[in-house]
Chain A
Amino acid sequence: MKKVLRNVYLYLMLLFLYAPILVLMVYSFNASKSRGQWGGFTLEWYRRLFMDANIQSALYYTVMIAILATIISTIAGTVSSIGIFLYGNKAQKVMLNVNYIPVINPDIVTGVSMMILFAFVSMRQGFATMLIAHITFCIPYVILSVLPKLRQMDVNLIEAAMDLGARPMQIINKVVLAEIRPGIITGALFAFTLSIDDFVISFFTTGSGVSNLSIYVYSMAKRGISPEINALSTLMILTVTLLLFIINRRSNKKTKTTGERI
């Protein structure tokens, strides 16, 4: 009995979470523009979507910014983590607190304050400013993922390497990076998902001609409901689901081989 109740509750909550998305996906195949009725199956909205030059450019910028922001923030975050790790207690604390600001600050404050910064230095907003903003809010997450791994690292390993005559760069390469690798991967995944999904900060830091998918969906949704957004949503949701599925399988395999949880 208890089990049945539990299952009913969990499935009801899942229905609540997924029903709107499923309805959206179904409507993307609805030939009728009106949402009240079903006008037959169509792929027309997808066809229009692929013809739309604005969506193509939004997709291009979304992916481009996400890849660049992930690579740059992962490298920068990892390098900085090593630096921070070596600082004294007090300095470390101050740096971590500042690093924490973009994490706890509401997106809108981060976005607005960066917009003011770019105006202050008269930097015209566009691709570069949006990328800078994305890197700025991604690095903290990379550091927060990498630093704990550094702390868990066995110091004896390094000493052993030093005793064996390894040069500093070799130690970094062969010992440290190998040890903190899971943290780096988690950080990179975090950076990628945050960047690809971001709306608020991008909205305030972009300029003419550069919008990502979120900004595009927002401006379309403000104009009302359109079957093309439904089609776009369906594709975006399927992509994310697929990506997560792959990541999950990957990390499951990892869990089995290394017994480690990510």
Chain B
Amino acid sequence: MKKTVWILCAILLLVTSLVGCGQSDVKKLYVYNWGTYIDNSVLRDFEKENNCKVVYENYASNEEMYYKLKSGNANYDVIFPSDYMIEKMIKEDMLLPLDKQNIPNLKNIDPKLLDIPFDPGNQYSIPYFWGTLGILYNTEKVTKPVDSWNILWDKEYAKKILMYDSQRDSVGIALILQGYSLNSTNQDELNKAYELLVEQKPLVLAYVNDQVIDMMIGNEADLAVVYSGDAVYCMSENEKLAYVVPKEGSNQWFDNVAIPTTSQNKELAEKFIDYLCRDDIALKNTMEVGYTSANKNALEEASKEDDYNNIAYNPTDDILARCVAFKDVGEFITNYADIWTKVKAAQ
């Protein structure tokens, strides 16, 4: 029996020392990003250049990221919130002001993307990717013209439609279709959007996030609501696919990179942000994931490629003119969450 106790003690000692090794002195940078939103080699290179370790995790929606930070269960150093979420997080003191002197590569960012109302003067966030919301469809299967959100309610494509599992985007589509504002704070309008989404539910194959990429490339569905960058990637892998920003209008979104107040390593985080703004790094990222770079040089370089020379990667002014950005709707966001839960719960 004694022997067993000794063996146990030895194992315990070994294990604790191993745990110790796992948490060695190398600085750690906790990065919390959207799924498939970076070229992983970029992270490894950053580790080598700065002798640190990047701990990288994904989220699927702004809300998921926000509540994870809000609940205090996280100590991320770098996050990638969208426009309305940045506005909300600034209001709630969840972001650290950036020291621009530490981000000299800011000069490479497209000036059009700077100083937008959600973060005046870019005090808290630096543009990373931007794009539109639209419909990706299979040109072989969908013969009707695709120019309206209405096609997502067409019974001919029952069980061939993928919706995005994100409250602002999906409820937003239903709002636009009825001529309301994307940023509506009117409960009646929201209720009408709810009815429309419930009506659509039997036609929807699934409510998805990143699976949309694989499923559209693999011809598992005919129509999908996607962000423009995913469309670029899908179209480069499957030439039957095409992307459209419907005539009723849509959402133009901006995903910026920011440092949450939970960060314990602001210096390294700013270094990382600066690193992302570098021309070569921005180009690598945009070429890997297909999203439109906020770096003007990378955008120009990428647009030379055939796969990137389209309205999904580089929307025309015409398209942008009918797009609206999300705004923070304040407390009303719980009504959106409620509607979305109910849509998903409907039978």
Contacts and interface: CB of A to CB of B under 8 A. Distances in A.
Interface of A: 34, 53-54, 57, 60, 64, 67-68, 71, 75, 115, 118-119, 122, 124-125, 127, 173-174, 177-178, 207-209, 211, 219, 222-226
Contact of B30 (A53, A60, A208): A208
Interface residues of B, number: 33
Nearest 8 A/B pairs, CB to CB: A224-B214, A224-B211, A209-B55, A125-B73, A223-B210, A208-B74, A207-B73, A177-B1
Contact of B55 (A60, A67, A208, A223): A208
Given A75-B8, A115-B71, A225-B214, 13 more contacts: A53-B44, A71-B8, A71-B15, A119-B73, A122-B72, A125-B74, A208-B30, A208-B55, A208-B76, A209-B28, A209-B57, A219-B35, A224-B211
Interface string B13-57: 001001100100000101010011000000010000000000111
A67 B11 contact: yes
Contacts, number: 72
A126 to B, nearest CB: 8
B96 interface: no
A32 to B, nearest CB: 11
B12 A124 contact: no
A207 B214 CA distance: 28
Given A122-B72, A208-B30, A71 B35 contact: no
Given A64-B15, A173-B1, A208-B73, A224 B60 contact: no
A177 B44 CA distance: 51
Contacts of A223: 35-36, 209-211, 214
B77 to A, nearest CB: 9
Interface string B47-86: 0000000011110100000000001111110000000000
B218 interface: yes
Nearest to B69: A208
A115 to B, nearest CB: 8
Contacts of A177: 1
A35 B62 CA distance: 32
A57 B1 CA distance: 35
Given A209-B28, A209-B57, A224-B215, A119 B11 contact: no
B209 A222 contact: yes
Nearest to B32: A208
Given A64-B22, A208-B32, A219 B2 contact: no
26 contacts: A57-B55, A60-B22, A64-B18, A67-B11, A67-B15, A71-B11, A115-B73, A118-B73, A119-B72, A124-B74, A124-B75, A173-B2, A207-B75, A208-B73, A208-B76, A209-B30, A209-B57, A219-B35, A223-B35, A223-B36, A223-B209, A223-B210, A223-B214, A224-B213, A224-B214, A226-B214
Interface in B283-317: none
For the residues of A in contact with B, the DSSP-based class is helix
Interface of B: 1-2, 8, 11-12, 15, 18-19, 22, 28, 30, 32, 35-36, 44, 55-58, 60, 71-76, 209-211, 213-215, 218
Nearest to B30: A208
B229 to A, nearest CB: 15
A178 B213 CA distance: 59
Contacts of A54: 56
A219 B15 contact: no
B-side interface mostly: mixed
Contacts of B71: 115, 119
A223 B30 CA distance: 21
Nearest to A225: B214
Given A208-B30, A208-B32, A209-B28, A224 B210 contact: yes
A71 B18 CA distance: 15
A64 to B, nearest CB: 6
Nearest to A210: B55
Contacts of B72: 119, 122, 124
A132 to B, nearest CB: 14
Contacts of A115: 71, 73
A259 to B, nearest CB: 22
A64 B210 CA distance: 30
Nearest to B213: A224
A207 B262 CA distance: 13
Contacts of B35: 219, 223
Contacts of B15: 64, 67-68, 71
A53 B28 CA distance: 14
A191 B243 CA distance: 52
A124 B73 contact: yes
Nearest to A53: B44
A172 to B, nearest CB: 9
A26 B100 CA distance: 53
A59 to B, nearest CB: 12
B8 A174 contact: no
